[in-house]
Amino acid sequence: MLVSGHGGALEYDLMTRTRFTLSDLGGGLPARALLAFVSHLPPDSATCREVRGDSEDEVRWQEPSLVPMLLAEIADTAHYVSWEVAQANSRHDLRSRLPRPIERPGVAANGDSRTYGSGAIPVSDFDDWWNGGTDGQR
């Protein structure tokens, strides 16, 4: 039923995630392997989205990398609100005890960032740069 009802999405997932197509079913792709493949498709696969009827926004909220980031944001907010309450009810300045945000993977601490290069390459110099440069110092 899945093949007849959602064959296009299943075909897309097979082609993009494996070397098979639905034409290989019964030959190089046993039915048991197809069942295992479909059973373990991630929520962002075309087949899962089509079967569940999820919109692109719903899929985005299910990304595994998003949940830890949202939890860290919630924890940071709770720490900051707690600090604000303590600051409002204290006679002392508590700015030195301002909570630090939880470190997040892929996000530089303290707003540090790296910059590579100093600007765009002029179009007239692009071919030389792309081909390794004329003097090797670009």
Q: What is the pLDDT of residue 77?
A: 96
Lowest mean pLDDT among 29-33, 66-70, 97-101, 107-111: 107-111
| Contacts by residues 12-17 (CB-CB < 8 Å, ≥ 24 positions apart) | 12/46, 12/47, 13/37, 13/41, 13/45, 13/46, 13/47, 17/45
Give the pLDDT confidence of 47-101 residue by residue, as tens digits.
887 787 766 677 677 777 788 888 999 999 999 999 999 999 999 999 899 999 9
Task: Name, in order, each residue with C-beta under 8 angstroms of 81's C-beta and a sequence gap of 6 or more.
Answer: none
Query: Between 116 and 131, whose confidence is greater?
Result: 131
Both tokens of 2, joined, read 């899945």
Q: What is the pLDDT of residue 114?
A: 64
Say if residues 62 and 26 touch (Cβ distance below 8 Å): no
Q: What is the pLDDT of residue 89?
A: 93
Whether 126 has a pLDDT exceeding 90, the answer reads no
The HSE-up count of residue 91 (CA atoms within 13 Å, CB side) is 0
Both tokens of 43, joined, read 């929520």
> How far is it, in rounded angstroms, from Cα 133 to Cα 138?
7
